[in-house]
Structure 1
Amino acid sequence: MIKGLYEAHLPVSNLLNSIEFYKKLDLELAYQHEKLAFFWIDKGHSWLGLWETDKVDTPYHPSLRHIAWHVDLNDIRNAKEWLESKGIPITTTFGFPKEKQPLVLSHKLNAHAAIYFEDPDGNLLELMAPLRLDVGEGSKMMSLEEWDEHHN
């Protein structure tokens, strides 16, 4: 029945500024109206809606104003440089400075590498690459470089 996620939405304070930001991420603008824009994430399969609204003042919580995009492992290895080349700063997350990112979140069920950054309105964005299912270890965070040293 369910095949994947088709769309997600974020609040923004200035649609035109946000459109320029999301274009930097190489997303294709699919539709634009007065206070709404859609970007293709995977053309014909998934997209992101941006809504210009005062709801952008809703405080951040992981259940609100957060999107994680699936990327390949090779892409996550280059993500920090890619984002920095576009003038997008890395967010210090879980106490990991940008020098230690991408970081690995390892839970008993899975492990994935991730790097975090924000859009102009403070919506938390994440690039995420799966590493392994059924890790069987405790929840330990480390840099991707440390993961590679322990798992290669």
Structure 2
Amino acid sequence: MRFLSRRLVMPSDLNYANGLFGGRALQWIDEEAAIYAICQLETNCLVTKHIGEISFESPAGKGDIVEFGLATKRVGTSSITVSCLVRNKATKTTICFADDIVFVAVDPVSRQPVPHGKTQEMLVEQTAQELASLNI
């Protein structure tokens, strides 16, 4: 799992108990997972079809930095399924885990599913090339 993005928990992100509001966490997960899928499939014509199990493990508070780890689980003809782990940057404590987030490539006009032309193997190679180009 690669941790690709971070967010600062602001006062407007908190619930009545001064913890990160679950709805805000879900909004961030959907956005971060969509960005990941868009980069993997190299198309921004994607829609969220399904979000499977979501498990909230620990709270995040005001001022915490949370990071999003994403991984590809499966690649279909028109879909990609990813997992997202949200954790506290400083403590590495899991805040929540969202599994089986499915995005489907769609035609921009008809909004019907279309093949994206990628395979799991192609995405593994693409990621390796991206990491190599970073010179890390």
**TM-score of the pair, normalised by structure 2:** 0.28
Compare relative contact order (CA 8 Å, sep 6+) and give the higher one, 1 or 2: 2
